[in-house]
């Protein structure tokens, strides 16, 4: 009897310690958001006068109004356009490449697959100067179209990696029966492979979508004027405009996180799964 | 017989043709945006060039010999290595601890999972800006707390001694949830039979974790380490926004150093040499680690 009591006490103590540590983690990971949201409602000098964690005197929406009436929607729509086009292209082209790599028998399949997958660890900085030169040469510099090429190219390795292993799991029997019905390889791709790969494609859409939505290096290098820039650079532009008005910048930051938070609320499990797709082996 | 053979060859040809058609767009993209640029970077690295004017001066390996003797580049490399090691040591155990807590606690702790995940939703740029204000000397979070206890302002990002470690703290804040989700996936791969069997055998949860779950998780922890390693060596956005590599060179990284040389000082020849050096170092380290980890796996 004593033994059981002892182990019960031990259990309670260890759970309490774990719980306290977990709460500390929670405060640490959440505090910056409180800082951001709280201060975005304050007046310019209110933050410094009343302290950063004081509640704002009133729910002051004027910062948000000013940000939205500024260039914010331009940044937002640029981001949406770049994302929509790049993501569609990326998913379609990756599916095209993964189909022969996963289901055809030909000599070059393995070397090509290895080459594509090896690109995953290449740092984008080695391509930055040549891509910058190229973009200028073909006249795309400082337009939103400049980002599409690099975004698609750097999304390819991981997408092909995941889609190839996904397509390998599609049963051969379906393919064979369609072959007997007289389908050629191209019909097979559109009628069977793409519909059956939808779960893999949706995971990849989230993974690549989040990456493209947040991408900074190419967007910063390949564009120059505010009206051609994407959302991550909005803060940059607004900071130049309101350099000392910290609450205003906090409002911009809050607005730029909002789409992701909304997505997270509505599709939590899918988003979590998608964002860690790169980590799941095969 | 002959007809059969030629039919097989015909089919093989058709397969090859289809494969070429399906693979061509992706291969063209990779050549244009990855393979050709890598070669071009190495070519550009043999010139002195400001990126704008038409005249480039060929200087052979001049940029490379400058690079080898450039203390700032090696400081940047050292900073990358410190970030890499500390990231692995802090993020992965932290993620594992969070995942273990959630796994043992079950569904009722879901709220922790949701709130812990949120830092991962922000872009590195937004995090960089947020923390450059949240850690500010005047009106930052730490200064506010320290004043509450009667202390003075705390300057974390402006002090060369603390800046790098402060940055690492922010990086861990951002990525710990990623490794949490990653380890949770590891836990869900362990079948419930294993857990039940060890409980029936009388193992406590602590014993289950150390003797059963952890050894089963080692392979996924290894790939988490590789992921964190490659990520740390490529790091750019957050630091460029938050400190710009400063104060001095205390938070300079290879990528920020490359960017500043190329696009702020317009020294594109030398910038290309830095990018090339970075590429070589990252490839070597990645190959070396994978070899070691794979050898251990074979034992």
Report the helix count and the strand count for chain A, using DSSP H and E: 15, 0
Kindly state the DSSP code that residue B249 receives in the 8-state scheme: T
Task: Find the mean pLDDT for residues B145-153.
Answer: 78
Shortest Cα distance, chain B CAs vs residue A46, angstroms? 11
Half-sphere exposure at residue A163, Cβ-oriented, CA atoms within 13 angstroms: 32
The distance of B177 to chain A (nearest Cα, Å) reads 9
State whether B129 and A235 contact (CB < 8 Å): yes
- Determine the residue among A116, A130, A240 to mutate to test chain B binding: the one whose Cβ has the most chain B Cβ atoms within 10 Å: A130
Q: Which residues of chain B have a CB within 8 Å of the CB of A36? A: 130, 134
For residue B27, which residues of chain A lie inside 8 Å, CB to CB?
A: 97, 112
Domains of chain B by residue range = 2-44, 72-298
Q: Is the pTM of this model over 0.90?
A: no
| CB A251 within 8 Å of CB A40 | yes
- CATH code of the region B72-298: 1.10.3720.10
Q: Measured between beta carbons, which residues in chain A are less than 8 angstroms from residue B183?
A: none
Q: Which of A123, A156, A235 sits opposite B26 (nearest CB)?
A: A156
Q: Do A214 and B26 count as a contact with CB atoms less than 8 A apart?
A: no
By CA distance, what is A252's nearest residue in B? B126
Chain-chain contact of A156 with B258 (C-beta, under 8 angstroms): no
- Contact state of A185 with B14 under an 8 Å Cβ cutoff: yes
Question: What's the confidence (pLDDT) of residue A1?
Answer: 58
Rounded to the nearest 10 degrees, the angle between the axes of helix B163-189 and helix A2-40 is: 130
Contact between B33 and A149 using a beta-carbon 8 Å cutoff:
yes
Which residues fall within 8 angstroms of residue A178, CB to CB, at 6 or more apart? A187, A188, A191, A192
**B33 to A51: CB separation less than 8 angstroms, yes or no:** no
pLDDT at B3: 61
ipTM of the complex: 0.86
Across the interface, whether the CB atoms of B255 and A109 are under 8 A apart is answered: no
pLDDT in tens, chain A (282 residues): 577 788 788 888 888 888 899 999 888 888 888 888 888 888 777 776 666 777 777 777 888 888 888 788 889 999 999 999 999 999 999 999 999 999 888 888 899 999 998 888 889 999 999 999 999 999 889 889 999 999 999 999 999 998 998 898 888 888 888 888 888 888 889 988 999 999 889 889 988 998 899 899 999 999 988 888 998 888 888 877 777 788 888 888 898 888 888 888 888 888 887 777 765 543
Contact flag A156-B29 (C-beta cutoff 8 Å): yes
Q: How far is C-alpha B179 from the geometric centre of its chain's CA atoms?
A: 12
Judged by CB atoms closer than 8 Å, whether chains meet at B22 and A48 is answered as: no
The string of DSSP letters for B3-22 reads HHHHHHHHHHHHHHHHHHHH
CB contacts of A48 in chain B (<8 Å) are 138-139
Q: Is A139 exposed, middle or buried (0-12, 13-18, 19+ CB in 10 A)?
A: exposed
Is A33 close to B268, i.e. CB distance below 8 A?
A: no
**HSE-up (13 A, CA, CB side) for residue B154:** 19
**B48: DSSP letter:** E
Q: How far is A85 from chain B (nearest CA, A)?
A: 15
Give residue-wise pLDDT tens across range B12-66: 888 889 999 999 999 999 999 999 999 999 999 998 888 777 788 888 888 999 8
Out of A97, A129, A236, whose CB is closest to B41?
A129
- The residue of chain A nearest to residue B287, with distances taken between CA atoms, is A121
Residues in chain A with CB shorter than 8 Å from the CB of B176 are 29
CA-based angle A73:A53:B251, to the nearest 5?
70
Residue of A nearest to B104 (CA): A15
CB B181 within 8 A of CB B117: yes
């Amino acid at each position: 009897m004593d033994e059981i009591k002892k182990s019960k006490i031990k259990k309670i103590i260890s759970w309490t310690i774990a719980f306290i540590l977990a709460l500390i983690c929670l405060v640490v990971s959440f505090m910056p958001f409180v800082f951001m949201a709280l201060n975005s409602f304050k007046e310019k000098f209110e933050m410094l006068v009343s302290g950063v964690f004081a509640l704002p005197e009133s729910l002051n929406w004027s910062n948000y109004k000013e940000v939205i009436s500024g260039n914010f929607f331009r940044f937002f729509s640029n981001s949406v356009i770049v994302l929509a086009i790049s993501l569609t292209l990326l998913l379609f082209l990756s599916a095209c490449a993964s189909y022969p790599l996963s289901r055809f028998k030909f000599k070059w399949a393995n070397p090509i697959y290895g080459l594509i997958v090896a690109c995953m660890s290449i740092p984008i900085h080695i391509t930055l100067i040549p891509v910058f030169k190229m973009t200028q040469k073909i006249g795309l510099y400082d337009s939103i179209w400049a980002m599409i090429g690099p975004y698609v190219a750097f999304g390819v390795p991981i997408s092909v990696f995941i889609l190839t292993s996904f397509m390998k799991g599609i049963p051969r029997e379906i393919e064979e029966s369609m072959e007997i019905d007289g389908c050629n390889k191209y019909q097979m791709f559109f009628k069977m492979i793409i519909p059956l790969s939808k779960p893999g494609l949706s995971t990849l859409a989230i993974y690549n979508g989040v990456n493209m939505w947040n991408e900074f290096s190419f967007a910063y290098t390949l564009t120059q004027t505010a009206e051609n820039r994407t959302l991550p650079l909005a803060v940059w532009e607004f900071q130049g405009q309101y350099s000392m008005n910290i609450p205003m910048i906090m409002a911009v930051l809050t607005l730029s996180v909002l789409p992701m938070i909304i997505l997270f609320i509505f599709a939590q499990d899918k988003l979590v799964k998608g964002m860690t797709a790169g980590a799941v082996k095969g | 017989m002959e007809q059969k053979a030629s039919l097989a060859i015909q089919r093989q040809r058709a397969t090859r043709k289809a494969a070429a058609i399906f693979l061509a767009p992706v291969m063209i993209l990779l050549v244009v945006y990855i393979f050709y640029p890598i070669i071009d970077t190495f070519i550009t690295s043999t010139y002195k060039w400001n990126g704008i004017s038409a005249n480039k001066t060929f200087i052979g390996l001049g940029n490379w010999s400058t690079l080898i003797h450039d203390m700032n580049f090696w400081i940047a490399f050292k900073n990358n290595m410190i970030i890499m090691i500390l990231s692995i040591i802090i993020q992965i155990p932290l993620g594992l601890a969070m995942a273990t807590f959630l796994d043992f606690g079950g569904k009722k702790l879901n709220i922790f999972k949701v709130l812990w995940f949120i830092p991962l939703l922000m872009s590195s740029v937004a995090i960089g800006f947020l923390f450059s204000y949240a850690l500010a000397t005047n009106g930052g979070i730490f200064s506010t707390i320290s004043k509450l206890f009667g202390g003075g302002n705390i300057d974390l990002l402006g002090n060369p001694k603390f800046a790098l470690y402060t940055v690492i703290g922010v990086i861990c804040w951002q990525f710990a949830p990623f490794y949490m989700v990653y380890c949770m996936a590891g836990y869900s791969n362990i079948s419930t039979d294993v857990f039940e069997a060890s409980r029936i055998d009388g193992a406590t949860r602590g014993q289950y974790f150390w003797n059963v779950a952890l050894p089963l998780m080692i392979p996924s922890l290894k790939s988490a380490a590789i992921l964190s390693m490659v990520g740390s060596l490529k790091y750019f956005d957050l630091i460029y926004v938050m400190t710009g590599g400063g104060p001095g060179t205390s938070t300079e990284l290879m990528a920020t150093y490359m960017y500043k040389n190329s696009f702020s000082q317009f020294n594109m020849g030398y910038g290309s040499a830095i990018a090339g050096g970075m590429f070589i170092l990252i490839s070597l380290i990645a190959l070396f680690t994978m070899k070691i980890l794979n050898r251990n796996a074979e034992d």
